[in-house]
Chain A
């Protein structure tokens, strides 16, 4: 497709369950970001990839969160032993290049995670 694709769109998990969220960025986009957006809040940065290299993971809230982009295209955000506070929309975004003057981020529709 032409845009950023995320799956699943909705995920309900029991507390303690592991989840995996997938992001398929726009073809050829170098930069890939993951954000967490709690209800009524702005997106909070989680992690950033430039191609397959994870250059910044400073926003990951705990070691239960892990992200990878092994071939520089599709990325997976994994959350182990989910907790209720992990409930949020997880947004993936990509941009063609890295650097500040390279235009906007293109966002997926997000994966809404609800932890019961």
Chain B
């Protein structure tokens, strides 16, 4: 089974609107971390936001928030007030707690295009 599933290959959003990028995960660990990364066309991976499995509050970082629904094993990224510079690939990732925490899995990504 896939550890991280991103079902939206591509998404479009109007500038200044909000958009939700979906992510579901699969783990039997109790302790794990969920991450979102942005990869612009230049190629670098930019960390956006982190949610720990024991965190009770949804993580927020500026215009980014993570809608964490533990029972559903989903960790959707919400970007508010989209900007043209948000156009990029977005990857959901998970780090499991077993062993030394060296397993860090990525999804296949969602390509977001912000329309002026």
Contacts and interface: CB of A to CB of B under 8 A. Distances in A.
A113 to B, nearest CB: 13
Contacts of A93: 45, 104
B91 A42 contact: yes
Interface residues of A, number: 29
A65 interface: no
Interface stretch (A16-24, A48-56, A68-76, A77-85): A48-56
Contacts, number: 71
Contacts of B50: 103-104
Given A93-B45, A107-B45, A109-B43, A100 B101 contact: yes
Nearest to B31: A100
B100 interface: yes
A42 B39 CA distance: 10
Contacts of B37: 107
Interface in A18-40: 31, 33, 35
Nearest to A43: B106
A109 B91 CA distance: 16
A92 to B, nearest CB: 11
A1 interface: no
Contact of B102 (A41, A44, A48, A91): A48
Interface of A: 31, 33, 35, 41-45, 48, 50, 55-56, 89, 91, 93, 98-110, 112
